[in-house]
Chains A and B, each alone.
Chain A
Amino acid sequence: MADDKDVLRDVWFGRIPTCFTLYQDEITEREAEPFYLLLPRVSYLTLVTDKVKKHFLKVMKAEDVEEMWFDFEGTPLKWHYPIGLLFDLHASNTALPWSITVHFKNFPERDLLHCPSNSVIEAHFMSSIKEADALKHKSQVINDMQKKDHKQLWMGLQNDKFDQFWAMNRKLMEYPTEEGGFRYIPFRIYLTMSDRPFIQKLFRPISSDGYTHTLGDLLKEVYPMAISSDDESKRYQVVIHGIEPLLETPLQWLSEHLSHPDNFLHISVIPAPSD
């Protein structure tokens, strides 16, 4: 029988095959070959694209190079979203490999944050973890950790070390047995067709009368549109890590097993493909 721990491994080792192509208007000395890479779903674009940058810089003059950024079919890709989320949100029903365009000019200041170094990613990642723990344990767990423990979380993600990361992260996933779950579930719901970047609310895994909340309960509360009633055809897909969990999946379980390393459950609500 498969064990829940296998889910953690599957989530961690999720990879998206990606084809990076240089934007056509970029000035090159000779033609740039596309670059193929397996991107970790749980990581961040700017953290894992050193190879991409190196590859394209070979054909470009230094003076034509500004900060690198990416788009997919015209949509700038936010580096501070996990890669898997970007893919699910924008490209989940397109053909593989995922085709990303690489830019070195005209940074879209209105859409993207600058990312001058990995320390910016680290700061963003750690602040997410802290926010999540504030929701889960009133920050008690993360505050009890030492600086080196925080570092271990980050280094685990940066170096793709599952054991290193989870040796520490499991502490963030614990909760008192008598309470049956976290205080609140750290989640974010992303909608492609909305102006708001995402929805985030306080939501408990267990109701006050002891009922276990499910993914369906969360959506009903936060974004009822996502749930199609029985008689109509499915309008939206609810995607986490490239899969569509059933609506009766307990939210606490999802939070423990399908959260990203930043400890948030990133849920994409995307229009169902019309066949």
Chain B
Amino acid sequence: MSVSLLWAVDVYGRVYSLSTGGQQWEQCHDAVLEFKRVTAVQQCCWGIACDHHIYLNVHSSDVPIRYQEETYENQRWNPKDNFSDHLLPSDRWHWSDITGLEHQPLDSFLLPSTNWEWEGDWYIDENFGGEPTEKGGWTYALDFPATYTKDKKWNSCVRRRRWIRYRRYKATDTWAKIPSEGHSGPLPDPFNDISCGGWEISEEPRGRLSLWAVSLQGKVWFREGIHHHSPEGEGWEEVSLPGEVVQISCGPGDLVWAVLWEGQLIVREGITRDCPQGSSWVVVDSPNPEAGAIHVAVGDNVVWAVTKDNKVWFRRGINSHNPCGSGWIGMVGEMVMVNVGLNDQVWGISCVDRAVYFRQGVTSSELSGKAWKAVNVPRDGDIRSHSSASISSLHSAGCFFSGEVQAQSPPPIDPDEVALGEPEAKCPPPALVLSPSLSGGLGDPQWSNVDLEETQTHLAVGPAVVRGDSADTCSLSSVATYTLCQGEPYGADEHPLWAWVSGGGCGVNCHSQLNWFNSATALASSVQSMSLSISPAQTAAWRKQIFEQLSERSKREMDHFKHYEQAVEQSVWVKKGAMQWWRDWKPHKWVDVRFALEQFSGPEGNQDGILFLYYNFNEEKKYLHAFINEVTILVPVLNDSKHTFAVYTAERTKQRWPIRLAAATEVEMHDWLALLSVSCCDSRGIQGPPSKQAIWSVTCKGDIFVCEPSPSLEACPYPTPCDQMFWRQVGGHLRLVECNSLGVVWGVGYDHTAWVYTGYGGGFFQGLASSTDNIFTQTDVKCVYIYENQRWNPVTGYTNRGLPTDRYMWSDATGLQECTKANAKPPSPHWTWVADWTIDYGISGGTDREGWQYAADFPRSYHGHKTLKDFVRRRRWARKCKLTTTGPWQEVPPIPLSDVTIVLCGAQSSVEPIPLWAISNKGDVLCRLGVTLLTPAGTSWLHVGTDQPFKSISIGGANQVWAIARDGSAFYRGSVSSESPAGDCWYHIPCPERQKLQQVSVGRTSVYTVDQNGNLWFRQGLTPSYPQGSSWEHICNNVRKVSVGPLDQVWIIADKVQGSHSLSCGTVCHRLGVQPMEPKGQSWDYGIGVRLFNLTSNPDPNPSTCF
């Protein structure tokens, strides 16, 4: 699981963060200033410092924030100067934007702030729609607002070219000041509170955030234009208010609540994709009429509040339709403040001991949680041992808080103080300062001095704030106090006193294993968790000794006595059961059968077995059988009504018609699958983990299969035919898998999470078919889509009443199946819904503001705006579902990937780096550093700059890196070597005529690509001195994916392969006749894959014979 941070500020204004993987608060040493508030999200943390300015701390990432600036240089032809900068008066500017309307000379581009830097100088983009242009990057047209081509024609009167330059956000992992400027100059008063959220409102633009701020005068401001490429945002916009606000909270979605000075709460309404700042406020009364609210915290679907008497309240009935909820429930515990983080998890600071508390047991079904639990970890400054620290810190807490009670006990004189009610305001600053001295028990001679200075600061600040209300002075003075304390060494066993906590970036849920709650056991458990992750148990001496001695024992007691008779003769063992079988003949239907597996010892002492299937046909008892050693694959086929799986043999693969069986329950199916799988492996003498040369593959359902190549897969002239290869399942769920011939395997899930392979087994494989260690929980998330269809009629406009011939008004993508929000199910019982239905605006073709796509009639191409000819429209709804399984996979955080490639062979030693490249889900090209046989996960990503997003990448022999950009053009990376793992520049390779490329695979020398129309292309003319090659040669069509092995052997996933029963999609095929002199091969050998079950795979062939 990726590591995320909990942020907090102590009463001295020091900012700390606590990592979900760590066990101590790390002080943010970069913070030269003291802070009073922080609000964190996953990618950054915002804060208000003691100077009342807002600061932004963007977490550094392997992929930097970079923004492409572009401008166009325009020229016109005239007979005298040929093409020149002399344009006609009616023409566009010499330098302009793409439309020609804006004047944009190169020197008009300035860095937005000092937090940015230029990556390099301006350069000319020579890529034009996937095609390389002539030198200079010019594109030609007849006149300006026209279609441009890359070729100069006789009538080309104008030309233009594109210049690009990148700027990069450099102020990462540091607090960067955000200028306080509204639309009309600087803001009139400084900030008092801040809250960040809203990333779920829209995915466009990427990384969009809402930032709400409250000024000291009680005004609310909304920061506009914050997104990935503009982390600082653009400016402040004032939000009109029904009263004066003291504090505001913004959830991940559209929930925003604020607290008024008078103690009521206000709820923002009308927050949508198009209007993230919302439209109006609704007032909600305080939970307790006697004591007004002083603090509010909101999450996705929850609202928590604190009243002046420090009582904590939970708001009932909050949902997306009712942001106001229905009523308050009082909770146990007295808090100074609470904060709602990710997954609606709740954090609080107790008013009793000022410790940070975590609300335990918060789940989506029980949002109010169960109990408060103190986060008990040391800070990085604490030096003393735990035992003494904990005792004395308890002591100090007692001292301090007895003092606080006294201070509170006299009735407050200033009514403002109560109205404000910030508990930190109630404790007189001297008490705060004194507490460390009490706890430390050290007579510090500087104390008087401190007190003096403190009061001075107090006085100095007091007049500066016109209103002079105690809240300001107190919060100021507490910060000022810290300025004084900073210089002095504070006692090591000082109990941390927290002022503010923010869990908005902390990715925990109620199941997270956190080592934060008990320092003593935390250490012990960390040792244990260490032993799990790097498993010294695997290498421990005792373990090694047992392995060695057992093998010695076998040698001693058995090797010389093999001719002795065995005491127990192997007999037949039968396991029986009842199942349903999808009948071979028409009409196909499920029939009840008896099912038996007979296991016995084969002639060479290996286990073997036969599967029997007894059925009745015309009142006659019949049976069907399959030899276990002929089974090639067992595939779980999940649908929502039955627990079914398919058994393939070579013969049945040829027919494209497996034995389809259904078990009564899921458990029964898994039992059978596990048993049959072990039995198949036994009969083929396969034990333990897959070999390093294994071929890996995933089905379109995400199941992972592995095939042991026969030693002679490539070497001999008659390789194992594809349909006889045996595939066994490995636990886990992936969208794609990539391996090399050294045992390094990476996968990418449907949710783009990157995974590295660690062992074998998992899933339903338990006990013997699974390794003991290195099996981890794996989750995957994907979306189920349904379509809402509407037809236009002249009277009522678009309605959900179609023509009788129309598709269902709620349907799947084809329109043939009815799919309503209510009846749509997750893909299988393993998946559970994790969110509600939302409109999907990201569908190709674009949508309007409500997500609609328009077309003239139903099975047509859709576009995102309405025209006069459009009579139908549709929109796509998406709902996320989640799968949790186990498998030998460990997450490689934090960057989500869309493609990955590993060099096929090469590393000779276990510490030699193995080149691994990937493409992030945003299209960034990445090169992994530190991947070796010992550390297959590597250490960090190196970002490789590109001018556009990429979608496919492959690395072959001799460090040849080929990649496909999103516009369908191919690129070759130059000068990649072990010294320079990321290479130096991209070479643009022209596409085949009129084709957009989709995917690339590189072998030892061969380069193959597949285009968007399913054509397979081979790159001609590759030589060591000219690795880019010369031209594309067409091999065949109907190819979905290609994979080239280390010996240039070629595998494809083909569609429309003819079987004896049916056409098949997603068939694994192997190219025959590939020879060093004949790299294109001659013909295809068709293997596994069946229409019904849609077994598609990404084969990654890695035969054992490796140079």
Contacts and interface: CB of A to CB of B under 8 A. Distances in A.
Contacts of A242: 549, 553, 557
Interface string B659-681: 00000000000000001001100
A130 to B, nearest CB: 21
Nearest to A3: B771
B571 interface: yes
Interface stretch (A38-46, A134-142, A195-203): A38-46
A96 B558 CA distance: 10
B554 interface: yes
Q: What DSSP secondary structure best describes chain B's contact surface?
A: helix
A4 B561 contact: no
A182 B670 CA distance: 26
A190 interface: no
B639 interface: no
A10 interface: yes
Contacts of A1: 538
A249 B571 CA distance: 36
Contacts of B552: 243
Interface string B540-560: 011101110111111011101
Contacts of B541: 246, 248
B550 A10 contact: yes
Interface in A4-29: 4-11, 14-17
Interface in B653-706: 675, 678-679, 682, 687-689
Interface stretch (A73-81, A102-110, A164-172, A266-274): A164-172
B573 A49 contact: no
A75 to B, nearest CB: 20
B598 interface: no
Interface centre among B538, B550, B553, B772 (most CB of A within 10 A): B550
B561 A97 contact: yes
B521 A210 contact: yes
Contacts of B768: 5, 8, 163, 166-167, 170
Given A246-B545, A248-B542, A51 B558 contact: no
Nearest to A240: B546
A114 interface: no
Given A10-B550, A161-B573, A242-B553, A5 B771 contact: yes
A160 B545 contact: no
Nearest to A209: B524
Interface string A155-186: 10011110110110010000000000000000
A15 B538 CA distance: 26
Contacts of A97: 561, 564
A210 B524 contact: yes
Contacts of A163: 599, 607, 675, 678-679, 682, 768
Nearest to A171: B767
A2 B682 CA distance: 18
Interface in A225-254: 241-246, 248-250, 253
B573 A37 contact: no
Interface centre among B545, B688, B759, B768 (most CB of A within 10 A): B768
A219 interface: no
B619 interface: no
A170 B759 CA distance: 19
B550 A7 contact: yes
Nearest to B689: A3
A8 B546 CA distance: 12
Which range contains the number of B residues in contact with the other chain?
A: 35 or more
A31 B739 CA distance: 65
Contacts of A72: none
B564 A245 contact: no
B911 to A, nearest CB: 17
B756 to A, nearest CB: 16
A96 B561 contact: yes
B565 interface: yes
Q: What DSSP secondary structure best describes chain A's contact surface?
A: mixed
A54 to B, nearest CB: 12
Contacts of B553: 10, 14, 241-243
Given A17-B557, A245-B545, A246-B541, A38 B566 contact: yes
A48 interface: yes
Contacts of A37: 564-567
A245 B551 CA distance: 13
Interface in B591-610: 599, 607
Contacts of B521: 210
Contacts of A10: 550-551, 553-554
A164 B573 contact: yes
Given A170-B766, A244-B549, A246-B541, A36 B564 contact: yes
A158 B541 CA distance: 35
A183 B138 CA distance: 78
Contacts of A11: 550
B972 to A, nearest CB: 38
Contacts of B687: 6, 9
A39 B675 CA distance: 27
Given A159-B573, A163-B682, A40 B567 contact: yes
Contacts of A7: 546-547, 550
B84 interface: no
A45 B573 CA distance: 23
Contact of A245 (B546, B571, B689): B546
Contacts of B88: none
Contacts of A39: 567
B570 interface: yes
B550 A38 contact: no
A224 B556 CA distance: 30
B542 A246 contact: yes
A160 B546 contact: no
Contacts of A161: 573, 599
A3 B769 CA distance: 11
A166 B767 contact: yes
A158 B545 CA distance: 30
B777 to A, nearest CB: 12
A211 B67 CA distance: 54
A14 B564 contact: no
B773 interface: yes
A249 B549 CA distance: 14
A257 B759 CA distance: 19
A17 B772 contact: no
Nearest to A17: B561
Contacts of A17: 557-558, 560-561, 564
A38 B567 contact: yes
B557 A4 contact: no
A123 to B, nearest CB: 20
A38 B554 contact: no
Interface in A82-127: 96-97
A4 B688 CA distance: 10
A243 B546 contact: yes
Contacts of A48: 567-568
Contacts of B773: 4
Contact of A2 (B547, B570, B675, B770): B547
Contact of B558 (A38, A244, A246, A250): A38
A181 B371 CA distance: 28
A82 B1054 CA distance: 57
Nearest to B688: A3
A234 to B, nearest CB: 15
Nearest to A164: B573
Nearest to A48: B567
A51 B567 contact: yes
Interface centre among B541, B564, B766 (most CB of A within 10 A): B564
B542 A159 contact: no
Interface centre among B558, B599, B682 (most CB of A within 10 A): B558
A1 B910 CA distance: 14
Given A163-B599, A170-B768, A210-B524, 4 more contacts: A6-B687, A43-B567, A159-B573, A258-B546
20 contacts: A14-B554, A15-B557, A15-B558, A17-B560, A17-B561, A36-B564, A36-B565, A48-B567, A51-B567, A96-B556, A161-B599, A163-B768, A166-B767, A167-B767, A170-B768, A210-B524, A242-B549, A243-B546, A249-B542, A258-B546
